[in-house]
Amino acid sequence: MVERKCIGCGEIKNRNDLIKITKQNDSDNIVISRDTKTFGRSIYLCYDNQCIETAFKKNKIQKALKSPISAELKGKILNEL
């Protein structure tokens, strides 16, 4: 079992129970990926609206990925729920 830390609440959970958001090395695109084959700088979020809101409100995603984040990404993440 591989564990990762949610960037919103800080809880450590099983990687399969979290949303993975990756800034790809080759293209600098930010994608929501379900597999472990996407390489780049990644963060994880719980499947919880409060964690997602906290991460966006405090710019935690932007800081962790070292890249500007669009409002469109927030919509995509909320659709994952």
pLDDT tens for each residue of 28-44: 888 887 777 788 899 99
Task: Give the dihedral sign, CA 45/61/24/76.
Answer: positive
The pTM assigned to this predicted structure is 0.86
Number of domains forming the structure of the chain: 1
Instruction: Please give the distance of CA 43 from its chain centroid, rounded to a whole number.
Output: 4
**Token pair in block for residue 5:** 């830390």
- The string of pLDDT tens digits covering residues 50-74 is 998 999 899 999 999 998 888 788 8
Determine whether 79 is exposed, middle or buried from the number of CB atoms within 10 Å of its CB (0-12, 13-18, 19+).
Answer: exposed
Range of the domain at 34: 3-80
CATH code, domain with 9 = 3.30.1230.10
Task: Give the DSSP H or E segment for 18.
Answer: strand 18-24
